[in-house]
Amino acid sequence: MAAPGFFFITLPCLAIAAFTGFAGCRAQRRSVFKALAAVLLTAGLTCALIPIGIIVRFLTL
């Protein structure tokens, strides 16, 4: 039962945190923060799309 909780509760929470960090880093002026924003955007999209991919995969079985 831990696996569904991780995929459907923890990953969306991590996605929200990554998107919040992305917005905060993007507002900064230094280029280091711009690079960190790109990493956080990638991590946020990955965390947000994994549960959707799992649902689509199970619906197509």
pLDDT score of 37: 96
Element (H, E) at 48: helix 31-59
For the chain, the domain total comes to 1
In-domain check, residue 6:
no
Can you give the pLDDT at residue 6?
87
Cβ-defined contacts of 19-26 (< 8 Å, 24+)? 19/44, 19/48
Do the domain assignments include residue 37?
yes
CB-based contacts of 41, cutoff 8 Å, min separation 6: 18, 19, 22
Identify residue 54 by its one-letter amino acid code. I
pLDDT at 2 (0 to 100)? 79
Q: Is residue 12 part of a domain?
A: no
Residue-wise pLDDT for 4-60, tens only, equals: 888 999 999 999 999 999 999 999 999 999 999 999 999 999 999 999 999 999 999
Instruction: State the pLDDT at residue 55.
Output: 93
Give the Cα separation of 34 and 25 in Å (integer): 6
Domain membership of residue 23 as a residue range:
19-61
